[in-house]
Amino acid sequence: MTALMTDLKRLSSMRAPDGFAERVLIEVGMADSYARFGTVLGNVYVAWNRFGVSAAARSASAAEFEDWFGQDVGRPLVAAEPPADLAEKIADELNGKRTMRFDLRGLTEFEQAVLRKTYQIPRGEVRPYGWVAREIRRPAAVRAVGTALANNPIPYFIPCHRVVRTDGEIGNYGGGGPEAKKAILTMEGVRVNRLQELARAGVRYQGVKTTKIFCYPTCHTGRHALEKNIVWLHDEASARAAGFRPCKVCRPAAVA
């Protein structure tokens, strides 16, 4: 008994190896790892855990990213060597290829639905907040959609920059403000100035005479239509009155 007590005292006095506690927390999903990655957007800090990527930001320093993560996500964060394939997945996502898994724990069911739907918007295209609300079957929750996107912890990869105001204006952006939003959309091939001109003219949709389909101006299905076959439309009512039906790809209106 005395020998056992001596062994227990010796074990209790032993110091755990450096980083042991952090590794345990990471293993059970209570802490995240992070690293800085060079991307087409510049340096981006990315956090991940065994469930997927949990956060991203173009912070000025590692300390700034850690502070932001602690306040917004609320878990410990540990600098680490990234998985071998993470840099490739980051490049894929920024090029429009969906390969990432995401950790959305801590977000409400509504917020998760908003982000999952936003993730489906193709590269080089935009949708209004009202579209996201309708797609997740919460058509009256347009303002709440905007709030959820403003608090998106994984911008760039869950592309909240592809969601614009209902009137077609670019709107704000939690990943760096309107100018950053315009820059990212331009990089993706969106003609931002043209989009803004259409918005100011009250144009919401593009109709194609040869197909009798109307869609959002950035939808890839109408991108190669000849100018002479394009009709600019102000709203759904005028589109339907002119004999156009909504695109089944970008779904500018409910499709029967």
* Active-site annotation, residues: 160
CB 240 within 8 A of CB 204: no
Instruction: Using DSSP, state whether 180 is helix, strand or coil.
Output: helix
CB 103 within 8 A of CB 49: yes
- Report the Cα 207 to chain-centroid distance in Å: 28
- CA–CA separation, 37 and 76 (whole Å): 20
Both structure tokens of 57: 């930001």
Strand ranges in 40-111 using DSSP code E only, listed in sequence order: 42-49, 52-57, 77-79
Looking at residue 102, the DSSP 8-state letter turns out to be B
Strand ranges in the chain using DSSP code E only, listed in sequence order: 32-39, 42-49, 52-57, 77-79, 127-128, 163-164, 205-208, 213-215, 230-233, 245-246
CB 156 within 8 A of CB 41: yes
3-state percent breakdown (helix, strand, coil) of the chain, nearest 5? 40, 15, 45
